[in-house]
Each structure stands twice: as structure tokens, then as C-alpha cells.
């Protein structure tokens, strides 16, 4: 014998997700399931896949407010879905589709709903099929909605604290690393330059015995002049304070010119769309400089690239970098696994920037970095 739908005075509200005007689904166990749901509390529910109708255990739903039991079916069909956050609706739709196709017999979802006061609340939605067809397809699902807003807020707060702590550690490591580079640059410039300069001056006063000795002396002096210049340029590469005195584009141009002399690779540098930043953006410029240095070093030593292209741009909001190579056989997975590249990505992330790679079939790697200023 089939039970009748609940009367207006009962605890249940018969609605939601209803696609037609057929009667409220009847339970094969003569209402026993509904009694259990009523005992579970105000957030219990059941959904009949045959009639596409959902029943709630109370008209006063804690998530979507009052649900009149006599609400017209054309409105009740979307009341719960419409209360969900637009970005999360696909979760329920995908779950329903999986039930209808017989691909699942239970579910557990976490998503957001917007209550009548406009407040976003997190719901833990659990359900299980309690009736199935002869071929095993779900017919009736029962479940419960649990408010997990406070739990999610706590988790989000913990995640934020963890991210903040990780950023502090990463910043400390980067700052220590830059201080080490600064100290190395100072030692190179002071000690090595002094020795080279002293040797050069001694050659200036070396008596010339004959033309051959004079020519030989001049060649040595040229080598020592070049060595002094090279040390100074390396110091500028290493020392983070170099950006206080030398524009970023000049540092990159100097690096590119020196690498092009190795004849290992041809590097192009386009910076006509880059506007020199103010001193307040030196941290961002230093990060971009380290990205260029790190990527060039990695590509020259771990790829078969014959050409590398660097494009540097800027606007009022960001510094933009694109660096590409022509090594078609370069494996992106191996490249991204390089600790140096991983550290560069972390450095960009620390400044709320982006760092990622692209590789099309039979093409080289395109590296993109973007840092807000």
C-alpha cells in the first residue's frame, strides 16, 4: 500500500529538482525511510531519480530558508541548484549524471551555497542509493547536508598561515643567497682586481729588451685588461646591488654579448617595450634578472639549443618576460625538474608573479614570467 504525500502540517517539504508534475515519490518501505530521515534532523533529504524530485526533512531548511511544501513544481525544480554558488553547480550536476548512468551508488561533495541573507556557507553533501532497479541503476538516494562553514574557514586560515610561513622561509633563503652573492662579488672585485691591476702596472714599467719582448708584453697587458673587465662584469652579474647603478637592460645586454662570444648559441635580446622602473621595483627587477640568468645557464648547458630569444616588456602593472629556445627534443619534464628552474618559479611566486613553460610538438620550449610592480 502506498503512503500519501505529507500534509501541510507535516515536517516534510516535497520539492526541489522536479522536472514534471507527477506526485511525490512513494517509498517501497511504507514511509520507513522518511521517518528515519526526519529523525536525522533538519538537513536530511531524499531524491527520486525516476521523478527527478527531492524531498527535504523540514520546510525550514537551514541553508536555503523556508520551503513551502506546495511550491509549484516549475519553481521547485531549481531551488537548491539556484542556491549553490555558480562556480560549484557543476559538482552536483556531474554527481547526478553519474547516478543516472549507474556509475556511482554514493557520493560525498563539498560545495558552497548562498543562504537567504546572502552569506556563503559550505555544505558537506553526502548521499547513498537505497533503491535500485533490476539492472542495478540507482532509483532513490537519501542523504544529509552538514554545515561545515566553520571547519572550512579554519582550514583556510591554517592554509593561509602555512603559506605565509613558507613565504617567510623562502624569502629568508633568497635574501641569504643574495647576501652570499654580494660577498663573493666584493671579494672578486677587491682581491682579484687588485692582483690583476698590480700585475698590469708591473708590466707597464717592465723594460723592453727588444721588439719581440715588447709585443709579448703588450699581449699580456691586453689579456690582463680583459680579465679585469671580465671580473667586473661577473661581479655585476652576481652582486644584487648592481641594479642600483646599472639598468636591468644593460646588465642583460652585457650578459648576452659575453655568452654570444662563446659561439655555442646565438642569443637575441629585444627590450624596446621595456620601460626603466623606479627604485621601488628593484626587487622585481632582480627576480627577472635571476630568471634570465638561470634559464640561459640551464639551456646552454642542458639543451641542444642553437638559438635563444629573450623578450622583455613592461607596463604600469607588470614586468613581462618571454624566453624561447629552438631545441625541439628538449623534454619539458626534465627541464622543469631542474632545481634551479624550480627555485626560479618559487621566487616569482614569492612576489605574487607567474612562471610557467609551454612546449608544442616538434618545437622548443617557451618560458614565460610575469611579476607585478
pLDDT, residue 141, reads 92
Angle at alpha carbon of residue 166, lines to 373 and 323, rounded to 5°: 45
Q: Cα–Cα distances in Å, from 84 out to 44, 66, 99, 154?
A: 17, 16, 20, 21
Q: Where are the beta strands (DSSP E) in 189-317?
A: 266-273, 307-314
Q: pLDDT at residue 83 above 70?
A: yes
pLDDT, residue 369, reads 95
When pLDDT is averaged across residues 307-319 and rounded to a whole number, the result is 93
Q: pLDDT at residue 171 above 50?
A: yes
pLDDT, residue 121, reads 94
pLDDT, residue 226, reads 76
Greater confidence, 11 or 337? 337
What is the CATH T-level fold of the domain 13-147, as seen in this structure? Beta-Lactamase (3.30.450)
**Percent over 70 (pLDDT), the chain:** 84
Q: pLDDT at residue 54 above 70?
A: yes
**What is the C-alpha to C-alpha distance for residues 70 and 43, in angstroms, rounded to an integer?**
19
In angstroms, the first-to-last Cα distance of the chain is 72
Closest CA to 4 of 19, 25, 32: 25
Least confident of 4-18, 127-141, 168-182: 4-18
Angle at alpha carbon of residue 193, lines to 192 and 197, rounded to 5°: 120
pLDDT, residue 313, reads 94
Predicted confidence band of residue 229 (pLDDT cuts 50, 70, 90): confident
Give 234's contacts (C-beta < 8 A, 6+ positions apart).
185, 188
Helical segments of 278-319, H only: 282-302
Q: pLDDT at residue 86 above 90?
A: yes
Q: pLDDT at residue 232 above 60?
A: yes
When pLDDT is averaged across residues 300-320 and rounded to a whole number, the result is 91
Q: Are 44 and 85 in contact (CB under 8 A)?
A: no
When pLDDT is averaged across residues 213-239 and rounded to a whole number, the result is 78
Instruction: At 37, give phi and psi (nearest 5°).
Output: -65, -40
Greater confidence, 188 or 260? 260
Q: pLDDT at residue 244 above 80?
A: yes
Q: pLDDT at residue 139 above 80?
A: yes
**What is the C-alpha to C-alpha distance for residues 208 and 193, in angstroms, rounded to an integer?**
25
pLDDT, residue 180, reads 86
> Selecting from 3.20.20.100, 3.40.50.720, 3.40.1380.10, 3.30.565.10, what CATH number does the domain 246-373 have?
3.30.565.10
pTM of the predicted structure, to 2 decimals: 0.60
Closest CA to 343 of 179, 163, 171: 171
Predicted confidence band of residue 220 (pLDDT cuts 50, 70, 90): confident
Instruction: Give 72-116 as a DSSP string.
Output: -HHHHTTHHHHHB-TTTHHHHHHHHHHHHTTS-SEEEEEEEEE-T
When pLDDT is averaged across residues 159-169 and rounded to a whole number, the result is 90
Return mean pLDDT, the chain.
81
Greater confidence, 203 or 94? 94
Q: What is the pLDDT of residues 174-194, one digit of tens each?
A: 889 888 888 888 777 777 777
Greater confidence, 150 or 7? 150
pLDDT, residue 359, reads 84
**Percent over 90 (pLDDT), the chain:** 37
**What is the C-alpha to C-alpha distance for residues 17 and 141, in angstroms, rounded to an integer?**
13
Closest CA to 271 of 327, 309, 238: 309
Q: pLDDT at residue 91 above 80?
A: yes
pLDDT, residue 277, reads 61
pLDDT, residue 30, reads 36
When pLDDT is averaged across residues 50-79 and rounded to a whole number, the result is 69
Predicted confidence band of residue 90 (pLDDT cuts 50, 70, 90): very high
pLDDT, residue 18, reads 39
Predicted confidence band of residue 11 (pLDDT cuts 50, 70, 90): very low
Predicted confidence band of residue 36 (pLDDT cuts 50, 70, 90): low
The H or E element spanning position 322 is: strand 318-325
Amino acid at each position: 500500500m502506498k503512503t500519501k504525500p505529507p500534509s501541510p502540517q507535516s515536517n516534510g517539504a516535497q520539492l526541489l529538482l522536479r522536472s514534471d508534475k507527477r506526485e511525490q515519490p512513494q517509498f517501497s518501505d511504507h514511509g520507513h525511510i522518511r521517518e528515519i530521515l526526519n529523525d536525522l534532523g533538519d538537513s536530511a533529504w531524499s531524491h527520486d531519480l525516476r521523478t527527478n524530485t527531492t524531498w527535504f526533512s523540514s520546510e525550514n531548511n537551514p541553508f536555503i530558508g523556508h520551503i513551502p511544501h506546495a511550491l509549484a513544481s516549475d519553481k521547485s525544480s531549481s531551488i537548491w541548484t539556484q542556491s549553490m554558488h555558480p562556480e560549484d553547480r557543476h559538482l552536483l550536476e556531474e554527481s547526478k549524471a553519474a547516478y543516472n548512468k549507474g556509475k556511482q551508488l554514493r557520493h560525498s561533495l563539498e560545495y558552497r551555497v548562498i543562504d537567504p541573507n546572502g552569506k556563503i556557507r559550505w555544505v558537506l553533501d553526502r548521499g547513498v542509493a537505497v533503491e535500485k532497479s533490476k539492472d542495478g541503476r540507482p532509483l532513490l538516494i537519501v542523504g544529509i547536508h552538514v554545515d561545515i562553514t566553520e571547519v572550512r574557514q579554519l582550514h583556510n586560515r591554517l592554509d593561509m598561515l602555512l603559506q605565509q610561513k613558507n613565504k617567510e622561509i623562502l624569502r629568508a633563503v633568497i635574501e641569504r643567497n643574495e647576501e652570499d652573492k654580494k660577498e663573493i662579488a666584493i671579494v672578486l672585485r677587491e682581491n682579484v682586481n687588485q692582483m690583476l691591476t698590480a700585475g698590469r702596472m708591473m708590466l707597464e714599467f717592465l723594460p723592453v729588451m727588444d721588439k719581440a719582448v715588447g709585443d709579448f708584453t703588450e699581449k699580456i697587458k691586453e689579456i690582463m685588461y680583459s680579465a679585469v673587465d671580465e671580473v667586473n662584469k661577473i661581479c655585476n652579474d652576481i652582486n644584487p646591488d648592481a641594479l642600483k647603478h646599472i639598468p636591468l637592460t644593460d646588465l642583460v645586454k652585457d650578459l648576452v654579448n659575453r655568452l654570444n662570444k662563446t659561439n655555442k648559441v646565438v642569443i637575441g635580446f629585444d627590450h624596446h617595450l621595456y620601460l626603466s622602473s623606479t627604485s621601488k621595483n628593484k626587487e622585481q627587477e632582480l627576480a627577472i634578472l635571476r630568471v634570465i640568468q638561470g634559464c640561459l645557464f640551464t639551456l646552454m648547458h642542458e639543451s641542444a639549443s642553437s638559438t635563444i630569444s629573450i623578450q622583455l616588456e613592461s607596463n604600469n602593472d607588470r614586468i613581462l618576460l618571454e624566453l624561447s629556445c629552438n631545441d625541439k627534443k628538449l623534454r619539458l619534464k626534465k627541464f622543469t625538474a631542474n632545481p634551479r628552474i624550480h627555485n626560479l618559479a618559487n621566487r616569482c611566486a614569492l612576489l605574487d608573479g607567474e612562471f610557467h613553460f609551454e612546449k608544442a610538438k616538434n618545437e622548443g620550449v617557451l618560458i614565460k614570467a610575469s611579476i607585478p610592480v
